[in-house]
Chain A
Amino acid sequence: MDKRGLGGMDRRRLLFSGAALGGGAMIAGCTSNKSDASTDDVKAASKAGTDNDKPGKQVTIGFSAPAADHGWMAAITKNAMAQAKQYSDVHFEAVEGTNDVNAQISQVQTLIGKKVDVLVILPFDGKALTSVAQQAMDAGIPVINVDRVFDTPLAYRTWIGGDNFGMGLNAGLYIGRTLKAKGVSSPVIGEIAGIDNLELTKQRSAGFKKGLAKYGFRVGIRQAADFTADSGQQVMSNVLQARSHLDAVWNHDDDQGIGVEAAIKQAGRDEFFMVGGAGSKHAMTEIKADSSVLKATVVYPTNMSAAAIKLARLIAQHKGMGDLVGEDLPSSLTLFSATVTKENVDQYLPGAFS
């Protein structure tokens, strides 16, 4: 093709880089993402019916969580901040989210050094952060452990989190019930899991198995993606090749589900129904519209961080939970994984993460 000398190359190269620069300048204005006013922050925060919400003693709450690099995790951090803002008596000290356990340990140590009144920690890895959480407890700072549990109860005052086993269980029960109602005798059921070496993925799969077993069904094909849309698309496009007929699919995570659904559409398949996981706004909108194979999703609540902030404030102010009987807060709270279908989606859509 190009057999010309340097001169020809030069001019072309110049033209090309000029075009690239121009294009860059043109699209520089395209980073705006403001379509609708962001009211999510307020929705996640809640006001209780007791007088616990009346301003009390001034408290400082330290907050540490993994990097918000994923829809669910981003919502966790956002909801915690929004809840803290609701209280005039709360000073909120959040440290930069990180997926490096080493960095998170030093951050928690910094918060201990600042002598915060109470700590809210969602550890990247519960085991790795156990000892530093225990240091905090030993220093007299109560720790609220969110979701990923520490190794020993010595490391936290109260644990609040989701129910991964229950999430899988409810997905399995929904799929079993629906297939039974349809009269399918030996269904082919697929499972698209999340990152396979995480404890939560194992628990979700165990629950799913249990739920299906109640109806005498079992998983026909199980493959793991890694919580991203491109991995979901890649895995699902191959799974659809592996099984020319499917009856139902459970996909662990709605963010990777965007890719899973794209693969299904691209393959032109619609003989089965799908259940999602986590409960994203996108998934719930699709369930509501009833326009795709996605018929339900099992929620893994993101408002648990907001609840954790409320608990932390109550602990620091030495108050009990208004709606429970007793002077002290419970030591553990497992949140329910609701199954969201077309029938009840309106109830959950406002709290969904995007």
Chain B
Amino acid sequence: MSQQTSPPGGSGPLPATGQGSASGSVRQTGPSPGKGSGPAFLGHMGRVRNLGLFVVLVLLCVVGALTSGNFATRQNALVILSSAAVIGVITIGQTFVIIGGGIDLSVGAIVALASVWCTTVATQSYGLGGMIVCALAVGAVVGLINGLIISYGNIVAFIVTIAMMASARGLAERISDRQSQVVTVDSFNSIASTKWLGIPLLVYILAVAVVLGWVLLNRTTFGRRTFAIGGNQEAARLAGLDVRRHTLVLYVLSGLCCGIAAVMLTARTTSGASNLGNLYELDSIAAVIIGGTLLTGGRGSLIGSILGVLVFTTITNIFVLNNLTTDIQQIAKGLIIVAAVLIQRRGRRTAAP
């Protein structure tokens, strides 16, 4: 699993988590270890980051394979991964923003706006390249506006992005006149149907985004600054970091991820519409949270977020394979989310100093 680089020393009261603290004796604050195998087992899971979530995912796969003969196939695995691709890319941006101490509630609306803008008759006349550039630029610019207002206007991220959620979707409705805009550029639609070596292009896009995101977060100064600012903004500022500019870039990054996701989603549905990406902000935030990232920022894991997304898409897949009704799906989804968070936290509590 991912080995977390510890945050920059001295920039804030950030406890090193995961394997870093697992050397030798692990100090325990929770119930004392060794009494019964259950807690001890859970305790071990906390030493390797995200193992709890990984166990949940494996359990889900076992359930899927046992309940449906169609689950454990290569093709079904690719369907799950393709479904996870769109929300996965959004969740990468969301993870950066939340680790940096913010939140982006406008992701679903940005996806809708970018999908609508890049599928207007005028944009489609520019062909594949024009449409992609348009979607990415819309995403980045909306993220830039979010970032500018949050960092230089000094307004809470929650309020700014909720306002953007309303106005971006409103603008999407205005541009599209609330109609579905069907994509007639075949090369654009083929983004969703192209396969290389039997694997859909969408899955490659997700994989590349995850790798780039992981390196950026865990192996660069930019990543370490993100942890530092999210952990303690004041300490980070005193340490000489330009908190405002860094926060701004985080929202641009999130917007850009939404732009990429919009391209993927638009190709997948072969249409742009103002109601696309509905409630994606909740899906992405839920994935980030069950992935073990603190909602208050400063600590978190990108791999955890992606595992969270995979847990969600796998649940949906298993439900449909077994033809369960929507009400049962929702009840079970809620229970699984709580169970996943409990297992994650149980593991972390025993591992954290």
Q: Do A and B bind each other?
A: yes
Residues in A lying within 8 Å of B, measured CB to CB: 1-6, 9, 13, 16-17, 20-21, 23-24, 26-27, 29-35, 68-71, 73-74, 196-197, 221-224, 226-235, 237-242, 244, 255, 258-259, 261-262, 265-266, 280, 282, 354
Known: A16-B252, A235-B320. Contact between A259 and B269, CB under 8 A? yes
Tell me the bound Cα distance from A23 to B268 in angstroms: 24
* 0/1 interface trace, chain B 218-253, chain A, CB 8 Å (1 if under): 011110000000000000000000100100010010
Please determine whether A196 and B121 come into contact, CB atoms closer than 8 angstroms: no
In the complex, B187 has a CB within 8 A of chain A: no
- Interface residue SS majority, chain B: helix
Chain B residues with a Cβ closer than 8 Å to the other chain, count: 67
- With a cutoff of 8 Å between Cβ atoms, the chain A residues found around residue B161 in the complex are none
Contact B137 A241 (CB under 8 A): no
From A74, A233, A235, A241, residue with most partner B Cβ within 10 Å = A241
Instruction: List, in ascending order, chain A residues with CB within 8 A of B105's CB.
Output: none
Min CB gap A139→B, angstroms? 33
Residue of B nearest to A267 (CB): B79
Q: If the complex has contacts A2-B220, A266-B192, are A228 and B323 also in contact, measured as CB distance less than 8 A?
A: no
| Interchain CB contact under 8 A, A3 and B220 | yes
In the complex, 30 of the A-B residue pairs with CB atoms within 8 angstroms, ordered by the A residue number, are: A1-B216, A9-B222, A13-B245, A16-B249, A20-B144, A21-B141, A26-B137, A27-B134, A27-B138, A30-B122, A30-B123, A33-B122, A33-B175, A33-B181, A35-B121, A69-B178, A222-B323, A223-B326, A228-B273, A228-B278, A231-B278, A232-B269, A234-B83, A237-B82, A238-B320, A241-B79, A242-B322, A262-B271, A265-B193, A266-B193
8 tightest A-B CB contacts, nearest first: A23-B137, A238-B320, A24-B141, A229-B269, A20-B140, A30-B123, A32-B122, A196-B326
Q: Give the docked Cα–Cα distance between A231 and B83 (Å).
A: 11
How many whole Å from B258's CB to the nearest CB in chain A?
Answer: 13
What 15 new A-B contacts, CB under 8 Å, besides A233-B268, A261-B270? A20-B141, A23-B136, A23-B140, A27-B117, A27-B123, A32-B122, A70-B178, A74-B179, A228-B275, A234-B316, A238-B321, A242-B321, A259-B270, A282-B180, A282-B182
Q: Is the CB of A228 within 8 A of B70?
A: no
Contact A33 B316 (CB under 8 A): no
Contacts of A261 in B (CB 8 A): 270
| A239 close to B179 (CB less than 8 A) | no
CA distance A222 to B323 in the complex (A): 7
Among A34, A222, A229, max chain B CB count under 10 A is at: A229
A228 CB to nearest B CB, Å: 5
The answer to whether B121 and A6 have CB atoms under 8 Å apart is no
Cβ of B316: which chain A residues have Cβ within 8 Å of it?
234, 238
Which chain A residues border B221 with CB–CB below 8 Å? 2-5, 9
Q: Mark B130-164, 1 if CB is under 8 A from A, else 0.
A: 10011011101100100000000000000000000
For the complex, what is the distance from the CA of A231 to the CA of B283, rounded to whole Å?
A: 13
Q: Which of B70, B245, B268 has the most CB of A within 10 A?
A: B268
Find out whether the CB atom of A238 lies under 8 angstroms from the CB atom of B83. Answer: yes
Knowing A1-B216, A70-B178, A221-B323 are in contact, say whether A228-B276 is a contact too (CB < 8 A). Answer: yes
